[in-house]
Structure 1
């Protein structure tokens, strides 16, 4: 097929792929997908998007397909990689056209070129950057802009490469192009300023080019120099940033009458100048030391003095505040506790500059301005509160301080207060004093001032610990203010209940907790403002989350708290709000445990409705599943009544074929485990649920431990029924996993196998038989970590105690596999057993191995009798460990259990679930806890004497050394 025909086919297919009709679009997309790996396909795409007469949407699609192809097929080692010859042609074509008329396509083209540059520049594409730098000098404004756009994306991509070789190449590139780009930037800025004066129509285009050049300079300065302060050009550029920012701020004031787009561009330019400073501070703190003083002077002048106010806009304020905070918190600028001991000279200089700048007067002024100006709720805040109280009350967490003014001011205030607590504490205490008295509900400005001061006191709670008598304040003014009604006073009520939450974990006496609960409850009621209710719910959560929380103190408030929070949960509209309130409810359930039972009915009825409503909100569903985990644990077997709701929730959450399992799996597994642990019997639906488990064992390594707990819980709940249905699948999955497991995983798997053997020895012995050769061979090899070997020996011992026939069959199978006789394998395994038994430290396992060894005495095996001394030594050493003297002076086996005693490992359980009870019952029936090793040893020795006769027995005794013999006689009558 000739090129023209191929091109028209691709063009026609792209046109169909740009169609909105799915019936036309889908086949076209499939066809394009088919062609992705065809030689020449990307050359045709290049021709199509380079042809400006073709429809924009078609060209846009062609660029996108080319860009995706670069990701998949440009790397030399990629399957179906493009040929080197085609790539050479494509590279030439990509930089032959700098006159793309459509902005969006130009941007995609620039990104596409940068992706190729990431693979090929500079080795396979050394001419790229020189070509772009030449084209930038063009007289054609469009060519200038498009080339700068490409250069920006190329530099951005190359600067992000982190390997040492790539970084060296980028530093070399920087040294070659920096001064050129700096001059280019300067000339565009100067042009723009002249054009502003002459009111030229080219202003916008010139400023765009200046911004692109600035973006390039930022990447070059941050990533292209090891130490920017050692480059005269970089230092020159960084010092110019302040002057350019001042000029542009003044210039921006004159622009509003001209064009909103121009104002937006000028703001972007100013913000980018501050980004340069913040990036250098972050990546090269010691190169920034000389810039600390001008940075602080610059930021403080604009944000904290009346002279700078006229040119401010919000994003610029945020950048300035973050710059100050970055300097305050920079770890490299913090000296040793004894300043004179600081070795790094840059640190000392930075510290001295900071201390000189932040005088008491400057700090006081900054603190006052932050609290009395920036902390004040604005008209916009109050309007948002009225129109959308849930959004208003949602606390902006994470990194919102980087882009949102209120969190940003609060974050700087905290940093300042923490660093200069001694200077600022008296300032804030004075503000508290000045705003201490109750204010009139009609005086909004006084209310807002008080709100701002209380906000500061809450933020600085830890630093004000010794300065404020919070108990007294809480018991007098704050409690009074919570009770004042009036529309404006909602501001104070919300702030006071928030303040109490902030101080609860810092300094509130335990005896005042009941007063806190009593004061919070009215703020949760339905007639209260929604934002106040949400804040009160969070304070309640903080109070309950405190390490001094006393359940008994809270119980009188439990029923009303739960009822009010439940009502709040139902009345909230936003998904985030429901999650927040549900989290508080869930927290209460977790903390009070069984005490929640009488009050949980309403929540139990509502959660299925909320589950249905939240089908599109996976994070809310996560919160619901998490709450259900705590509820099931608190309700115990009562939760079985919830099975019709719980089991479908678990089914959905743990089904790997459902998209939502990505969000719900971890909590879903916890819920599954909690339901099993609190079930009194196995139901058909609960058994059926296990069909979700095999894919999880294949897929989910991070949740494997919980999956194993679920399997163990199922085994304990209904051993025969469960193992008959799913035993083979479990053993097969465990076998498959063992080959890829580390020691910890092997131990977990062996514990699961052991649980099967303990819970249902008859069924499990046949079930685990396919795994046993691997385990026996590992013992034969004798090389495993002590904990792993301990588990292998335990499995072998249980098989031996369950069925000698199976034990012999597995020995024969191992012998066949390695080409040895069964006698050789048994001999070697016994040697390893006797050698490694001393490494088994857990008493239950030592006794298990002791019982198994004693059982072998009567196996009529020459291999055992040849090691008679070793067997006796290990059994008696085990007896030394487990025999204790009771209060009556009688020696007893310390591991023997009765129906009423419990194994020590369960003593630390806070409350006993059905599962705990089943574990104890299993322990009570375990040979380790039912057979007295001493008695069994005596019986086996007597039986051996009968088997071999007195004279042969005497010969055997002659093989035992004197010390071992003395120990044996302590326990056995011979």
Structure 2
């Protein structure tokens, strides 16, 4: 059936068109027919002929690409049942890279992915012309061809970098060393072009150049991180990494003029984040080679996150990435092993890496653990300066106290020998729990959380009746968050030792039963509210 390409194309085209139908009576038989053809010689040549014909319906071409891509997974390898013949594969490989002129973005991406799938099996031994063809195609002046070739170049590089067998790694090392210089010059060219166009206000041209900058940087990321055994010995690799900091500054400054409504804004932020991912990946894979970059990385991250240099240019994801970079340097086992940090991450997973508050808190814990002798006096001085009830009209002072109390709670185990928590509870915290003004809600919430952090670290048992009595009275707090915090806290303590040692608390059985029911009810309300 597939010997005559033209007649076969018309038949397959008709069935593909039926397979895009919303009518199941038409759709199901078409899918069955396509499934039968999957193992027939010549079927994938017909599919290539269809999805490269830009005059056909987009949905039909999209379906042809998907069937082709799925066929690569099932029948491309020589050992696969019903494997494609070497003659047909040679024809298909040539056809896939004949023209990088697909006008539809989604189809262009799928074609790039399927070329990368073929490259994973055949490049470079059976497909030595792929990389040279891509390198020539990204140089052309035609914007569409240049972009499609660069998109394919990225997907091929990404796929080849993911191979893990020793022989495959060696091939990728050879590839990386051969094309790295070209990849750097390509990235620099598109980066300079974008920055010039952004300054002149040409949004459309700047957006196109930024897309090419992003793709070329993605290629460099894979080559830099996975393409060298000892990257610190390669002058071009280290030159690229040092250049990242200057480029990052340029892009951050450029973001001042590219606001939310600009077509470039989202892609610009993605590019800035990609800069940080290159550094994070390189640090993770090559901590020794990263050593010359440590000081500059820390200075850069601290400058933009904690000083005026970042005002008006930083955004939340960038701040999170900078904190991740600081943390990875501080806790990196290649520099300074730490069982404590490992334990923290085992219990918390990786969720902290993607949100600002947990990322900040984990970074604080790590830094405080590593430099507790330096930081403990500073934190204790802050606590001492916040003695007494804070002015209810001073929102800034309330937020500062909340932050300091949060730090003391996070560093509870490190401060065990430095803080007399029992005296602090009686002289300061107990009084703050009893301030009922609405403006003091954040402090009441923070104090009950702080006590929860310290109660298993350092808290005398004879103070617990006083604590429970205060919390019992505050369960009627109109602030649901405060009430639930106290309820959950008491429920936790009931499970630990309240029921077993009830008489020691000098609370009547009737009160305790009512209290426990209130806690369970509050916990249920809290769960419903969260959902």
Calculate the TM-score normalised by the size of structure 2: 0.90
Matched with 1:128 is: 130
Matched with 2:506 is: none
Matched with 1:351 is: none
- C-alpha displacement of 1:169: 0.8
Describe the shift of the 1:20–1:533 C-alpha distance in structure 2 as closer, same or farther (beyond 3 A). Answer: farther
Matched with 1:37 is: 39
1:242 counterpart (231, 242, 245): 245
Distance 1:43 1:561 in 2: 75
Distance 1:480 1:83 in 2: 83
Distance 2:28 2:512 in 1: 58
Could you report, residue by residue, the CA deviation over 1:159-196 in whole angstroms, capped at 9, with x for unpaired residues? Answer: 11111111111101001100011011111111112222
In the alignment, structure 1 residue 229 sits paired with structure 2 residue 183: no
Distance 2:115 2:479 in 1: 55
Matched with 1:563 is: 517
Cα contact 1:501–1:540 (8 A) shared by 2: no
Q: Which moved more, 1:474-483 or 1:224-233?
A: 474-483
In the alignment, structure 1 residue 208 sits paired with structure 2 residue 211: yes
Describe the shift of the 1:537–1:38 C-alpha distance in structure 2 as closer, same or farther (beyond 3 A). Answer: farther
1:553 counterpart (485, 501, 509): 501
Could you report, residue by residue, the CA deviation over 1:338-361 in whole angstroms, capped at 9, with x for unpaired residues? Answer: xxxxxxxxxxxxxxxxxxxxxxxx
Matched with 1:307 is: 309
Could you report, residue by residue, the CA deviation over 1:285-312 in whole angstroms, capped at 9, with x for unpaired residues? Answer: 1111111111111111111222332322
Describe the shift of the 1:177–1:484 C-alpha distance in structure 2 as closer, same or farther (beyond 3 A). Answer: same
- C-alpha displacement of 1:61: 1.9
Cα contact 1:504–1:543 (8 A) shared by 2: no
Matched with 2:343 is: none
Describe the shift of the 1:37–1:508 C-alpha distance in structure 2 as closer, same or farther (beyond 3 A). Answer: farther
- C-alpha displacement of 1:441: 4.6
Gaps of 5+ in 1: 338-395, 579-974
1:424 counterpart (366, 375, 381): 375
- C-alpha displacement of 1:397: 5.4
Q: What are the equivalent positions in structure 2 for 1:305-704 lying under 5 Å apart?
A: 305-334=307-336, 398-522=349-473, 528-540=478-490, 543=493, 549=497, 551-554=499-502, 559-572=513-526, 574=528, 577=530
Could you report, residue by residue, the CA deviation over 1:798-849 in whole angstroms, capped at 9, with x for unpaired residues? Answer: xxxxxxxxxxxxxxxxxxxxxxxxxxxxxxxxxxxxxxxxxxxxxxxxxxxx
Cα contact 1:514–1:554 (8 A) shared by 2: no
Task: Provide the aligned C-alpha RMSD in A.
Answer: 2.5
Distance 1:138 1:418 in 2: 54
Distance 2:95 2:353 in 1: 41
Q: What are the equivalent positions in structure 2 for 1:816-965 lying under 5 Å apart?
A: none
Work out the number of aligned pairs and report it. 515
Partner of 1:310: helix, strand, or coil?
Answer: coil
Describe the shift of the 1:43–1:522 C-alpha distance in structure 2 as closer, same or farther (beyond 3 A). Answer: farther
Distance 2:243 2:428 in 1: 53
Q: Which moved more, 1:189-198 or 1:159-168?
A: 189-198
Cα contact 1:505–1:542 (8 A) shared by 2: no
- C-alpha displacement of 1:244: 0.7
Matched with 2:101 is: 99
Partner of 1:505: helix, strand, or coil?
Answer: coil
Cα contact 1:501–1:538 (8 A) shared by 2: no
Describe the shift of the 1:65–1:531 C-alpha distance in structure 2 as closer, same or farther (beyond 3 A). Answer: farther
Could you report, residue by residue, the CA deviation over 1:189-235 in whole angstroms, capped at 9, with x for unpaired residues? Answer: 11112222333341111111111111111110111011111001101
Distance 2:53 2:466 in 1: 76
In the alignment, structure 1 residue 20 sits paired with structure 2 residue 31: no
- C-alpha displacement of 1:422: 1.1
Distance 1:39 1:533 in 2: 71
Partner of 2:289: helix, strand, or coil?
Answer: helix
Partner of 1:496: helix, strand, or coil?
Answer: helix
Matched with 1:261 is: 263
Describe the shift of the 1:425–1:573 C-alpha distance in structure 2 as closer, same or farther (beyond 3 A). Answer: closer
Distance 1:499 1:237 in 2: 46
Partner of 2:124: helix, strand, or coil?
Answer: coil
Distance 1:46 1:543 in 2: 67
Cα contact 2:408–2:450 (8 A) shared by 1: yes
Distance 2:440 2:24 in 1: 57
Distance 2:125 2:131 in 1: 12
Cα contact 2:259–2:265 (8 A) shared by 1: yes
Describe the shift of the 1:568–1:58 C-alpha distance in structure 2 as closer, same or farther (beyond 3 A). Answer: farther
Distance 1:316 1:134 in 2: 35
Partner of 1:275: helix, strand, or coil?
Answer: helix
Could you report, residue by residue, the CA deviation over 1:576-620 in whole angstroms, capped at 9, with x for unpaired residues? Answer: x57xxxxxxxxxxxxxxxxxxxxxxxxxxxxxxxxxxxxxxxxxx
Q: Which moved more, 1:491-500 or 1:533-542?
A: 533-542
Which fold has the larger relative contact order, with Cα–Cα distance below 8 Å and residues 6 or more apart in sequence? 2
Partner of 1:176: helix, strand, or coil?
Answer: helix
Partner of 1:471: helix, strand, or coil?
Answer: helix
Describe the shift of the 1:436–1:303 C-alpha distance in structure 2 as closer, same or farther (beyond 3 A). Answer: same
Q: What are the equivalent positions in structure 2 for 1:13-92 lying under 5 Å apart?
A: 13-92=15-94
Matched with 1:11 is: 13
Describe the shift of the 1:302–1:8 C-alpha distance in structure 2 as closer, same or farther (beyond 3 A). Answer: same
Could you report, residue by residue, the CA deviation over 1:451-500 in whole angstroms, capped at 9, with x for unpaired residues? Answer: 11111111111111111111222234323323333433332222122111
Partner of 1:506: helix, strand, or coil?
Answer: coil
Distance 2:51 2:451 in 1: 63
Distance 2:392 2:35 in 1: 68
- C-alpha displacement of 1:120: 1.5
Cα contact 2:320–2:354 (8 A) shared by 1: yes
- C-alpha displacement of 1:510: 2.7
Gaps of 5+ in 2: 340-346, 504-508
Describe the shift of the 1:214–1:537 C-alpha distance in structure 2 as closer, same or farther (beyond 3 A). Answer: farther
Describe the shift of the 1:78–1:31 C-alpha distance in structure 2 as closer, same or farther (beyond 3 A). Answer: same
- C-alpha displacement of 1:151: 0.8
Cα contact 2:116–2:152 (8 A) shared by 1: yes
Q: Which moved more, 1:59-68 or 1:210-219?
A: 59-68
Cα contact 1:174–1:224 (8 A) shared by 2: yes
Could you report, residue by residue, the CA deviation over 1:395-448 in whole angstroms, capped at 9, with x for unpaired residues? Answer: x95323222111111111111111111111111112212223223555433322
Cα contact 1:524–1:568 (8 A) shared by 2: no
Distance 1:504 1:205 in 2: 58
Cα contact 2:484–2:526 (8 A) shared by 1: no
Could you report, residue by residue, the CA deviation over 1:838-896 in whole angstroms, capped at 9, with x for unpaired residues? Answer: xxxxxxxxxxxxxxxxxxxxxxxxxxxxxxxxxxxxxxxxxxxxxxxxxxxxxxxxxxx
- C-alpha displacement of 1:336: 11
- C-alpha displacement of 1:128: 1.2
- C-alpha displacement of 1:23: 4.1
Cα contact 1:421–1:463 (8 A) shared by 2: yes
Choose 1 or 2 for highest CA Rg.
1
